[in-house]
Amino acid sequence: MQGLPLVQVKNVSKSFAGVQALKDVSFQINRGERLTLVGENGSGKSTIIKLIAGVYPFESGEIEIDGNSYRQISPKTAIDAGIQVIYQDFSLFPNLTVAENLAFNANLADGNWRMDWKKTEQIAEEALAKIGVSIPLDEMAGNLSAADRQLIAIAKALLKNTTLIIMDEPTTALTRKEVENLLAIVDDLKSQGISTVFVSHKLEEVLTVSDRIVVLRNGELITEKPIESLTRSSIVEAMSGIELNEAKPQRKKKPAHQGYALETSVHRRT
């Protein structure tokens, strides 16, 4: 993660119908790192990833990708720069097979409306091999579990010259084992020098998967720190604006017996 950051968001603001969604937000995504973007509902998480992906225009500020500065980004610009976003619906065609979904863009680019099944299966096999998984190529995507559809979406993203994969709430519908498998794939992507951004509010996963954390609250950047310098409590405080003070256990006298009580005070930050 030496040298120039892969992506730098600089003083970016965005509003919708007069409501400020993001206000002067700045942070960076380093090369080959696992960054997690956290915040409560309405904090601006989805908005910022759509700005980076070119889905929304931003009103002020700039975004640098691989050293190139942009005042506006189109989806094509983001994809050409190696940025892929996997949304919660995975953007797959449920009525197409695994192979057809994986090879769809390549076949479309060729302009050949007659399906080359041998080439399609080859593309699909190579895509799945990149993340070390095996899924029946002739299975309809709509019949697969959420975990398998997500794996297909990741494999499809890697067919491009991808340098950054952003995953929007990727573990919402997954079991614990499926989450563990996904996190292992994220670790493997890191070893390949591919950056990942997790958008999540599950603290257990945040603490496990992250090299750094960016916390947004009410459209503003609250903190951007390495995971080593944060705790569960400090993340909750940054997300909510509520300060948690935990006192040491103190002995309390009771008529029948003596026990310990943990005193916790909560203070709203102003």
Q: Which residues contact 53 (CB under 8 A, 6 or more apart)?
A: 73, 75, 78, 83, 85, 166
Q: Give me the pLDDT at residue 105, please.
A: 80
Look at residue 111 in the predicted model and tell me its pLDDT: 62
**Which residues, given as ranges, of the chain have pLDDT below 70?**
1-2, 108-115, 244-270
Q: Is residue 262 part of a domain?
A: no
72 DSSP 8-state letter: S
Give SS3 for 75: helix
**Which pLDDT does position 2 carry in this prediction?**
53
**Is 215 a member of any domain?**
yes
Domain that holds residue 189: 7-242
Quick: pLDDT tens for 123-133. 999 999 989 99
Q: Which helix (H) or strand (E) holds 84?
A: strand 83-86
The pLDDT of residue 261 is 38
Tokens 């953007």 correspond to 91
Specify the pairing of strand 212-217 against strand 34-38: parallel
Q: Is 8 helix (H, G, I), strand (E, B) or coil?
A: strand
| Residue 19 within a domain | yes
Decide if 26 contacts 58 (C-beta within 8 A): no
CATH number at residue 172: 3.40.50.300
Instruction: Give the count of domains, the chain.
Output: 1
CA 128 to CA 124: how far, in whole Å? 6
Measured distance CA(199)–CA(46) in Å, rounded: 8
What pLDDT does residue 175 have? 87
How many other C-beta atoms can be found within 10 angstroms of the C-beta atom of residue 122? Answer: 14
Residue 229 DSSP one-character state: G
Q: 14-60 pLDDT, tens per residue?
A: 999 989 999 999 999 999 999 999 999 899 999 999 999 999 999 99
* Structural Rg of the chain based on CA atoms: 22
Buried b (16+ CB within 10 A) or exposed e, 210-224: bbbbbbbbebebbbe
- For residue 183, tell me if it sits in a domain: yes
Q: Does residue 175 form part of some domain?
A: yes
Looking at residue 167, its pLDDT comes to 93
Q: Please check whether residue 62 lies inside any domain of the structure.
A: yes
208 within a domain of the structure (yes/no): yes
CB neighbourhood size of 250 (10 A): 9
In DSSP terms, 6 is beta-bridged to none
What is the layout of strands, in order, in the sheet containing 19-29? 19-29, 7-16, 60-65, 68-70
Determine, yes or no, domain membership for 257: no
